[in-house]
A and B are shown apart, each in its own frame.
Chain A
Amino acid sequence: MLAFLLRRVIQAAAVLAVVGLIAFAMFRFAGDPVNQIVGPDTTVAERAQIRTDLGLDDPVLVQFVRYAGNVVRGRFGISYQFRQPVSQLLAERMPATLELAFCATVFALVVGILMGVYCALFRDSWLAGLFQAVSLIGISLPTFLIGILLIYLFSVTLGWLPSYGRGDTVRLGWWTTGFLTASGLKALILPSVTLGLFQMTLIMRLVRAEMLEVLRTDYIRFARARGLTTRAVHLRHALKNTLVPVITIAGLQLGSVIAFSIITETVFQWPGMGLLFVQAVQNVDIPIMSAYLLLVALIFVTINLVVDILYTVVDPRLRLPAGRTA
């Protein structure tokens, strides 16, 4: 187990190193950052001065080593547009994104699994048919359109929920949370549903398909033959076996929920990392872009690792004794 973990951690580090190289390369290939900082009437001498200050004159290798060293220590450079450390900018916005991603994931998992289980157990009911139809819509409509439709319905027409922002937040140390105020919670609903809808339909369809598969297996037949209650057969034996593959997908989806909250954050003007990234792209603010790239890679790699570990917790067959290979 320890060897397995160590191997996975080394693999993760390798992935991050490659992403770091790409993130660094962005500085070289995404245009001259100096032009973005200065006005048209800046003198050549001043431009040269800025260039030297930012270390853009040094050899590529020196720059990369310096970059990597800084990144490891959590220094992602100074944002061109805000003139603030990128790490500070990201830290300010991270709570908003993480809270949104958390709510979206909980929504997707809870509703997706419930609907999936229902569809598998009562596959011929009209409600299962309705869920299936709704899931098709969820999977095929683009996120921004769903967001706009929800805003139109619940904010503009009904006036129940706010259409943008986080509402009132409470500061807990460096973390700002919207969970503690009514307006903060209300503001979370629409963006969470928008962000989680795609994952929810995906999980629903996956759970349904897996569960139908599991219900056909011998051990479910045998569980019935043992006279177990329908509830025990369905919710203990069938559901647990269904969730083994679902964990992988759901875990990976959590990564993409964080990474691709960009669109939802833009639609709802949600003050998170995604919105920061979109603004950075518009302004060619490369330090923010590269830091965001690294952060997303880190999140994905971490989640992958956690999913692998979770797998062995759920499925005893994967718990290999030390020294034996699969």
Chain B
Amino acid sequence: MTETILSVRDLTVAFDTRRGPLTAIDRVSFDIGRGEILGVVGESGAGKSVTGSAVIGLIDRPGRIAGGEIRLRGERIDNLSPEAMRRVRGRRIGMIFQDPLTSLDPLFRVGDQIVETLRTHTNLSAKAARTRAIDLLAEVGIPAPERRIDGYPHEFSGGMRQRVVIALALAAEPELIIADEPTTALDVSVQAQIITLLKRLCREHGTAVMLVTHDMGVIAEAADRVAVMYAGRVAEIGPVASVIAKPHHPYAVGLMGAIPTLSQEADRLSQIPGAMPRLTAIPKGCAFNPRCPKVFARCRVERPEPIPVDASRVACHLYDAAEQAA
């Protein structure tokens, strides 16, 4: 892997409630290299979005980072002051949200929102910032940008708005972009365009991307590597081709098996029995053990640590050398 942009180690996020802290993210670790797209998949509530919010320092109260560290180019950013973290946001880490229809302030022209972002992070003059804004809009594929720059968000379609959002996220040339379900709210045909755009821009700028989604199609299309999350933990992380073609963790196996294919003739879609545990009731040992077809005694007692298997890292006792030998 080339230069590491983002390095997350044992990140733990807790939400303080009246009945004590709930651990939403439990010792999650991953790296993203320069120009690399890391897909983060999992069911709703697996902690994908919270991980993204934690990296950019925008966890809503009462959530807080309870442990671990986040490094951007080797520099710790999880313990920065709010003001220092604000300077990182937008400048060094950009973010794209799920719903482009609600991500833009409806009362401000899109150009003004881009200029505002640029001038917050750079010392461009108002005029230079406007020129740059037009370039950005052109770069994300908005036709007639010198005219559309004075449009209001409601004058853009959903796909066009997501392009504007991407332009905003890229405005200050960040090293990392966190894309939180960037295509979920869009039409399928538009989804492909946005993914292609995101891929192209990141390749050209060398931007690292954390692509949070529950759409395996998007992952297969865009990501270089993929992290499968379950109940706030990383179950398996590895190159996208190997995780999709030959998953190791029983949860990843179930997840990939649940993707319907056209060639499949089955009447029923396969599914993983049961449901993901609630944060209040995560089982002891491996979080997946109640639903796991290959569960054995050790899974109910001891939490598996990620171990290298082929090109991936898998948090499962099945692949432990000791178990293999037995």
Contact = CB atoms under 8 A, between A and B. Distances in A.
A13 B56 CA distance: 56
A315 interface: yes
A232 B119 CA distance: 12
Nearest to B121: A227
Contacts of B107: 237, 240-241, 244, 314-316
A85 B154 CA distance: 54
B47 to A, nearest CB: 18
Interface in B95-149: 95, 97, 99, 102-109, 116-117, 120-121
Contact of A222 (B86, B104, B172): B104
Contacts of B169: 225-226
Contact of A237 (B95, B108, B168): B108
B61 to A, nearest CB: 10
Given A225-B90, A228-B90, A317-B154, A219 B105 contact: yes
25 contacts: A218-B102, A222-B103, A222-B104, A222-B168, A225-B56, A225-B58, A225-B89, A225-B97, A226-B94, A226-B95, A226-B171, A227-B91, A227-B117, A228-B86, A228-B116, A228-B120, A229-B86, A230-B86, A232-B116, A232-B120, A241-B105, A244-B107, A314-B107, A316-B107, A317-B154
Contacts of B56: 225
Contact of B58 (A224, A230, A316): A224
B298 interface: no
B175 to A, nearest CB: 13
Contacts of B120: 226-229, 232
Interface in A262-299: none
Interface string B49-80: 00000001010000000000000000000000
Contact of B102 (A219, A225, A227): A219
Contact of B154 (A226, A241, A316): A316
Interface in A229-258: 229-230, 232, 237, 240-241, 244
B152 interface: yes
A221 interface: yes
A226 B90 contact: yes
A244 B108 CA distance: 13
Contacts of B121: 227
A221 B58 CA distance: 8
A161 interface: no
Contacts, number: 80
Contacts of A317: 106, 152, 154
The 3 A-B pairs at the shortest CB distance, nearest first, are namely: A227-B90, A227-B89, A225-B95
A316 B106 contact: yes
A222 B105 CA distance: 9
A124 to B, nearest CB: 10
B87 interface: yes
Contacts of A222: 95, 97, 103-104, 165, 168
B190 interface: no
Nearest to A223: B105
A124 B202 CA distance: 42
A230 B117 CA distance: 13
B195 interface: no
Given A226-B168, A228-B117, A232-B116, 4 more contacts: A217-B102, A225-B56, A241-B107, A316-B152
B117 A226 contact: yes
Contacts of B152: 316-317
B97 A218 contact: yes
A71 to B, nearest CB: 41
B192 interface: no
A218 B120 CA distance: 20
B292 interface: no
Contacts of B165: 222
